[in-house]
Structure 1
Amino acid sequence: MDPVTHAASGAALMLALPRRPATRWAIPLAAAVAAMPDLDIVLASGPLQFLQLHRGFTHALLYVPLLALLCTLAARPLWKRTTPGHWSAAGVWLLCCGLLLLHIWLDCITTYGTMIFLPFSAERVRLNAVFIIDLLLTLPLLGAAWYSWRAGRHLPPDPQGGCPSAPRAARLVLVWCLVYPCLAMLCNGWQTRHFREELLREGRQPGQVTVLPDAFAPLFWRAIYEEQQPNGRVIRADGLDILGRIHQRGFPRPALPESLRAALMAQSQTCATFLDFSLLPFCAPLPPDLRPAAPDAAPALNGQQDAATHPQQLRGYLQIVDERFGSSLALVRRIMRLRAGGGGPPFQLWVELGYGPDGRPQLLRQRLRLPDSGRDSGWTRPRVPSPPALLPWCLGLY
């Protein structure tokens, strides 16, 4: 979920309380704590760290009490004795726990995936209920927070010294933050069943089918699915309206072969992280103008001569893209291209492959690109995944 929605949810939660400490920092602090878990991107020095850390340990349920304690220390104006109507430190800690859990909930209902079970599991929870920016969530939160704050200014002073609140609107919008995603999940389930039945009626045999919210959901959805064709497995993404009708047919894209997926994950930590993160990725030849100018020294192929001296036909350049991050709406696609600076999809893995005498693929170089956030690893040599030490394990860096 976007930072504005997170901050607005924190302000709404503070305003939903019957009273609050009489400090001008109360609402800004609540908004900051609600948005705090997304500071994990500051720790990410490159695209690999971004995938490993974003929505990682700062979003894990196990670390909520500890993070809430740090937030409580930073929110000292709320429990400072000189603040009129101040709360106890324990009360502020409970509030911070609630704000962090609200942040985690709002992230889980999107399609990105949130690792709430770290460090025991890197499973990403994605409930596929709302788009990454959802006006049906953000606008009510902003409106309710503004109304409650303005209405509270005209109430009589609180006898206990705190600031009075007009919490009804804020409480209603917090209920909406729970009810609306649940309704969207029900709609998603119906869309998935209806779409699969439509494919079967057409005589097609789809594999995995995943329905995702598109921009302006629940009016628009995207169905991403795989199916077998004579030339191999392909990935399609069809646009759906609220009634389950297809308003845009997706172009078939070659699915990443399972054998190649397994080989890449075994040879590279970067590939393993990206492919664990991705959902129904497709692959395509990397355009010649995006390939490295000349192959430099690379690892040997299965003990043979240096890969740089192998014939060019033994090399292959692929781009692997997660089809999940897109839209069936032309306007939204144009906006996404502008945000990415014309760099294409927001998550891309480029690989340079060589093939030994046995025909098995050997990863020579890789490049992880996140155009939307401006992160690019450049062409690098692969590093074989290894068991993490204690601290990386605690942070979920597998």
Structure 2
Amino acid sequence: MDPITHAASGAVAMLAMPHRPASRWAVPLAALAAASPDMDVAFAHTPLQFLLLHRGITHSLAAAPLLGLVFALAGYTLWRPKTAQHWRFAKTWLFMTAMILLHIWLDCITTYGTMILQPFSDMRIRLNAVFIIDLLLTLPLLWAVWRWRARRGLLLLAVAWMFVYPAISIGLNAWHTAQTRDNLAAQGRAPQNIVVLPDAFSPFFWRALYTEATPRGLMVCAQGLTALGQPHGPETTAPALPESLARDLARQSVAARAFLQFTLLPVVAPLPADMLPGDMLPGDSTSAVQPADAPSPSYIMVHDQRFGTSLALVRSIMAMRPSADIPFKYMAELAPAPATAELDTPSADSSQESGKAAAPALDAAPAHTQRLLRERMRFSDSRRDSLWQAPRPPTQPGLLQWLVGLR
């Protein structure tokens, strides 16, 4: 969820409290606490760190009381005896912890995925209820802060709206999923891994992603939906990333593993010419990292259909971004692996997450058929780019993998 919504949620929560401390810092401190878990982006300087840190430990249930304690201590004005209607320290701590948990809730209802169980698990929770920017959620909160500051009854309704509206959207998501399955079955189609996502201007528009076996191979299909569950706009398709290639990448690179665990139904495409390594220009047949007599490497781009839209107006607005591009993408330089290639990297269990289809069994095969020579991750909106580099083999999962991003 965007920072404005997070800050407004904290402000509304404080304004709705009975007998709140008579301090001019009360509402700003609540807004800051509700937005604070996103401070993790300040420590993420590379794409890998961004994947491992953002919506990670600062968004976890285990860390919520600790962050709440920090803001309770910083909010001394709320519990100092000289403040009129001051709270006790324990109440301040409880309130600030609640603000952290409110942030976690608002992030979980989006499609990005939040690792609320860190440091014990990297499982991402996504409820696919609201778009990353949802005016129907944000505007009532801003209105409440602006116009209802002295009307506690209406403020309580605004607090309830932060839970009722996502709950309604979760129900609509389940209904759209069933509708999509029935509509495709009526066409004689057998889709797999149906995932329904809120589109811009949800709950009036949605998107359905699903895989389908075709004569061209397994494809990831995307179809816009109206509020009534009817198809909206043309269906688009893209080749699904083969599970065997996903295993090869994840077992040779910690970056690839983290990226694939982040994605929903990843797709693969040839790498555009302007993204090729500087020492591999279009038309060249060799790479600087390979012997001259080695087979020519191939280049692929893996990305996620999750962050697209079926609405032409929204696409035109997104194209106006300073770094308009696919938001998250992973690029790889590959070469056929020797037939006897064996992997000795430790394995990790694939995670299951809410709203996500079963992830490929990344550690199921004993050997890989594609050797990863170099890789690159580029996150256009955050302007993080690893540039081309040799892959780093995976380490143990969980907290140790989190620490890899800090080295």
TM-score normalised per structure 2: 0.87
Aligned twin of 2:310: 328
Q: Secondary structure at the match of 1:373?
A: coil
1:241 shift after superposition:
0.3
Aligned twin of 1:382: 391
Of residues 341, 345, 354, the one that matches 2:335 is 354
Whole-angstrom CA distance in 2 between matches of 1:4 and 1:242:
26
Q: Secondary structure at the match of 2:45?
A: coil
Whole-angstrom CA distance in 2 between matches of 1:315 and 1:393:
31
TM alignment of 1:92-241, pairs within 5 A:
92-149=92-149, 165-241=150-226
Cα 1:109–1:259 shift into 2, 3 Å? same
Whether the 8 Å CA contact 2:128–2:173 is kept in 1: the answer is yes
Whether the 8 Å CA contact 1:118–1:395 is kept in 2: the answer is no
1:118 shift after superposition:
1.0
Q: Are 1:292 and 2:277 matched, yes or no? A: yes
Aligned twin of 2:298: 316
Whole-angstrom CA distance in 1 between matches of 2:321 and 2:57:
27
Report the AA paired with residue 327 of structure 1.
Answer: T
Cα 1:392–1:312 shift into 2, 3 Å? closer
Whether the 8 Å CA contact 1:307–1:354 is kept in 2: the answer is no
Mean Cα displacement is larger for which, 281-290 or 75-84?
75-84
1:114 shift after superposition:
0.6
Report the AA paired with residue 317 of structure 1.
Answer: Y
Whether the 8 Å CA contact 2:52–2:402 is kept in 1: the answer is no
Aligned twin of 2:37: 37
Whole-angstrom CA distance in 2 between matches of 1:198 and 1:340:
39
Whether the 8 Å CA contact 1:79–1:88 is kept in 2: the answer is yes
Whether the 8 Å CA contact 2:111–2:127 is kept in 1: the answer is yes
Whether the 8 Å CA contact 1:340–1:373 is kept in 2: the answer is no
Report the AA paired with residue 39 of structure 1.
Answer: M
Report the AA paired with residue 328 of structure 2.
Answer: F
Q: Which structure: larger Rg?
A: 1
Cα 1:264–1:395 shift into 2, 3 Å? closer
List runs of 5+ in structure 2 lacking aligned partners: 282-286, 340-367
Q: Secondary structure at the match of 2:278?
A: coil
Cα 1:395–1:102 shift into 2, 3 Å? farther
Percent of paired sites with the same residue: 51
Whole-angstrom CA distance in 1 between matches of 2:278 and 2:313:
35
Whole-angstrom CA distance in 1 between matches of 2:51 and 2:404:
13
1:392 shift after superposition:
6.2
TM alignment of 1:64-103, pairs within 5 A:
64-103=64-103
1:97 shift after superposition:
1.2
Whole-angstrom CA distance in 2 between matches of 1:5 and 1:281:
29
Whether the 8 Å CA contact 2:49–2:405 is kept in 1: the answer is no
Whether the 8 Å CA contact 2:327–2:379 is kept in 1: the answer is yes
Q: Secondary structure at the match of 2:90?
A: helix
Whether the 8 Å CA contact 2:295–2:336 is kept in 1: the answer is no
Whole-angstrom CA distance in 1 between matches of 2:169 and 2:264:
20
Whether the 8 Å CA contact 2:2–2:132 is kept in 1: the answer is yes
RMSD: 2.2
Whether the 8 Å CA contact 2:301–2:331 is kept in 1: the answer is yes
Report the AA paired with residue 139 of structure 2.
Answer: L
Q: Are 1:338 and 2:320 matched, yes or no? A: yes
Q: Are 1:368 and 2:353 matched, yes or no? A: no
Q: Secondary structure at the match of 1:260?
A: helix
Report the AA paired with residue 355 of structure 1.
Answer: P
Whether the 8 Å CA contact 1:144–1:169 is kept in 2: the answer is yes
Q: Secondary structure at the match of 1:199?
A: helix
Q: Secondary structure at the match of 2:235?
A: coil
Cα 1:127–1:340 shift into 2, 3 Å? farther
Report the AA paired with residue 257 of structure 1.
Answer: P
Whole-angstrom CA distance in 2 between matches of 1:363 and 1:50:
22
Whole-angstrom CA distance in 2 between matches of 1:373 and 1:206:
34
Whole-angstrom CA distance in 2 between matches of 1:108 and 1:136:
17
Structure with a larger share of its residues in helix? 1
Whole-angstrom CA distance in 2 between matches of 1:241 and 1:174:
28
Whole-angstrom CA distance in 1 between matches of 2:65 and 2:207:
37
1:231 shift after superposition:
1.9
Whether the 8 Å CA contact 1:10–1:99 is kept in 2: the answer is yes
How many residues in Structure 1 have an aligned counterpart in Structure 2? 374
Report the AA paired with residue 54 of structure 1.
Answer: H
Whole-angstrom CA distance in 1 between matches of 2:165 and 2:97:
22
Report the AA paired with residue 211 of structure 2.
Answer: E
Cα 1:143–1:49 shift into 2, 3 Å? same
Whole-angstrom CA distance in 1 between matches of 2:183 and 2:235:
15
Whole-angstrom CA distance in 2 between matches of 1:195 and 1:390:
38
Whether the 8 Å CA contact 1:47–1:368 is kept in 2: the answer is yes
Aligned twin of 1:162: none
